Structure 1
Amino acid sequence: MSESQRPLEGKLGIVTGGSRGIGAAIAENLASKGCDLILNFTSPSSSGPIAAIAANLSKTYNVEAVAFLADMGDSKGPATIVDFAVSQFTQTHTNPQTGLLQIDIIINNAGVSYNRYIQDCTPEEFHKQYNINVLGPLLLVQAALSYLPHDRSGRIVNLSSVSASQGFEAQSVYGGTKAALDAMTRTWSRELAERATVNSINPGPVTTDMYAGTSLQFREKLRPFIEHTPLAQMDTSKMSEEEKRKYKLAGGREAYPKEAAGIVGMLCGKESGWCTGSVICANGGMVFST
């Protein structure tokens, strides 16, 4: 296939939280463009499903996709991903100038969310969310520093959220973690300017296990926001009665994981080389700017 068909041929990427939802969709988007991948997962219970995902991507897109277990909430976890990359891919992805492994793409997708009102927040959940959503990405990029490109061709994309800017009730902690991730995105774009572009995307509600686990009360609070999201509004005339019922309750439709993944894929391409330090809208217009 031509470069236009496989624009990420020869690249190596890391996708954290790659076993399901947006992470799995991102992995497929990148693999379809020729990118070899390390798919990180946290829970041993996900080992079977993610192994199947990796095998399918390898076979379907003729890439090398491998799964690796590491807890992004453990201070030692992120570095083990990079160590694994060095052991697994140095022979096939060596930077000729440095003689070291080259990691071209990092997608910080792994995340956790607990919706709690002020009085219900606990130190344990606070630290867990910040460890996974903020410290984990920082430590992964830190561990990967020696292996990033030196020609600005690297791509780092952080999975943020509309929660970083919209002030949803019960998201003192989760929204704060995503705002912190956006702040790091801007800082990294300066520090890594000669190595890689660094951007965030900010999805709204997406049809994932994480969003499915939110309470009915939270969804009711979110409905007015969805009702004013341009791309969440659709013609319901061809929907089944059950689909119409769900649509009405939600105030519109949620995004599909592949839609968020498509924006990540766009930011990983050569054409995105003049875009850095930005939070890119990936929410159908729920948030026009941040």
Structure 2
Amino acid sequence: MSLKGKLAIITGASRGIGAAIAENLAAKGCNVVLNYTANSSGNRTVQLAIDLDKRYPGTVSAVVRADMGSETGPAELIAGAKAHFHDPRTNDPFQIDIIINNAGVSVNNVIAECDAQDFAYQYNVNVRGPLLLVQAAEQYLPHDRSGRIVNISSVSSSLGFIGQSVYGGTKAALEAMTRTWARELAERCTVNAVNPGPVATDMYGGTTPEFQARMANFIRTAPLMVAREGVDSAEVLERAKGDGGRAAYASEIAGVVGMLCLPEAGFTTGSVVCANGGMKFSV
């Protein structure tokens, strides 16, 4: 229970990596704010909050709908978190201990197919959203360097996948902001990024066979992406035949994020931590 009593805000928490991070942090005693955007994700997110509260007694999970791609959504998320966790009748200040910028969108288009609408859509969610969220949350961050911000980037920021001019650019921008925030917020919190490769989530599952075929050569050379009989499920083994190897489990990404949120990680900041099975080694 190393994070007992702390408060974490997780964007895009309805499924996949976001839901796995919520589980990881709640297991450490953290109260969590689960953010989602679409109506279709509402029931799933509420059920996740109920399940977390049952599995981890003593923690509180709140659900806030807010669109991280809009100009007002990030501030609405912070206001919603404060409404859930701050009692104005007391003198206790409201504090946000952890922010996980996980919400993200990806559209794969080659150069000729990129357009201004697609550019704005991805940059608004993946870059502007985290910036506006941290801006709205800054006044509530700790003043003793105990705070934690973890940005979910992607190996796409550095490997140059075909069709990801825009998406890869958004993640490179997020990594650049990570380094800037690490300096600007040095007396408040650490700021790090994690860069997964393919993860067994709806986002990766929705990519085209052509994109997956192009990824296969990268996957085959990643030392930890070999699917293993007796360890991985039959479904994973079967898909790995076409993909060149297995995608990460969401819990494996969440474990790295959870590690960065611990008190023991207090001397790590401004880093991009590789969590991609060895598709890219850190330097």
Question: What's the TM-score, normalizing by structure 2?
Answer: 0.96
Given the alignment, which residue of 5, 17, 22 partners 1:22?
17
Residue of structure 2 in register with 1:231 after alignment: 224
Structure 2 match to 1:87: 83
Q: Does 1:247 align with 2:232?
A: no
Corresponding residue number in structure 2 for 1:74: 70
Paired amino acid for 2:77? I
Q: Give, in whole Å, the separation in 2 of the partners of 1:256 and 1:241.
A: 15
In structure 2, C-alpha distance between the alignment counterparts of 1:65 and 1:143, rounded to whole Å: 21
Q: Which amino acid aligns with 2:211?
A: F
- Residue 259 of structure 1: aligned partner: 252
- Decide which of 187, 206, 210 is 1:194's aligned counterpart: 187
Q: Which AA in structure 1 matches 2:27?
A: S
Q: Distance in 1 between matches of 2:188 and 2:245?
A: 40
- The answer as to 2:217 corresponding to 1:221 is no
Q: How does 1:1-290 map to 2 (within 5 A)?
A: 6-62=1-57, 63-91=59-87, 99-236=92-229, 244-289=237-282
Equivalents in 2 of 1:232, 1:223: separation in Å?
A: 11
CA distance in 2, matches of 1:168, 1:248: 21
Q: CA RMSD in A?
A: 1.7
Judged with a 3 Å threshold, the aligned counterparts in structure 2 of structure 1 residues 240 and 11 are, in CA distance, closer, same or farther, namely: closer
The 2-side partners of 1:220 and 1:56 are apart by 37
How far apart in 2 are the matches of 1:247 and 1:160? 24
Shift of 1:241: 7.3
User: In structure 2, do the counterparts of structure 1 residues 238 and 154 end up closer, same or farther at CA, with 3 Å as the change threshold?
Assistant: closer
Q: Deviations over 1:59-107 (max 9, x none)?
A: 1102110111000000000001111122221239x8x8xx520000000
State the distance in 1 between where 2:182 and 2:233 align. 46
Q: Structure 1 residues 148 and 233, CA, compared in 2 at 3 Å: closer, same or farther?
A: same
The secondary structure found in structure 2 opposite 1:230 is: coil
Contact 2:35 2:63 (C-alpha < 8 Å) held by counterparts? yes
Segments of structure 2 that go 5 or more residues without pairing to the other structure are none
Q: CA deviation at 1:243?
A: 5.0
Unaligned runs of 5+ residues in structure 1 are 1-5
Cα distance in 2, alignment partners of residues 43 and 263 from structure 1? 27
Residues 127 and 86 (structure 1), Cα distance of their counterparts in 2 relative to 1, 3 Å cut:
same
In the aligned structure 2, how far is the partner of 1:14 from the partner of 1:278? 20
In 2 relative to 1, CA 242–234 (structure 1 residues): closer, same or farther, beyond 3 Å? closer
Q: What is the distance in 1 between the residues matched to 2:18 and 2:171?
A: 16
Q: Match for 2:164: what amino acid? A: Q
| DSSP 3-state at the match of 1:34 | coil
Q: Contact conserved, 2:227 with 2:237, CA < 8 A, in 1?
A: no
Quick one: distance in 2 between partners of 1:135 and 1:219? 28
Structure 1: which amino acid aligns with 2:38? S
Q: Name the amino acid aligned to 1:31.
A: A
Structure 1 residues 287 and 101: CA distance shift in structure 2, 3 A = same
3-state SS of 2:224 partner: helix
CA distance in 2, matches of 1:76, 1:11: 25
Correspondence for 1:3: none
In structure 1, C-alpha distance between the alignment counterparts of 2:134 and 2:228, rounded to whole Å: 43
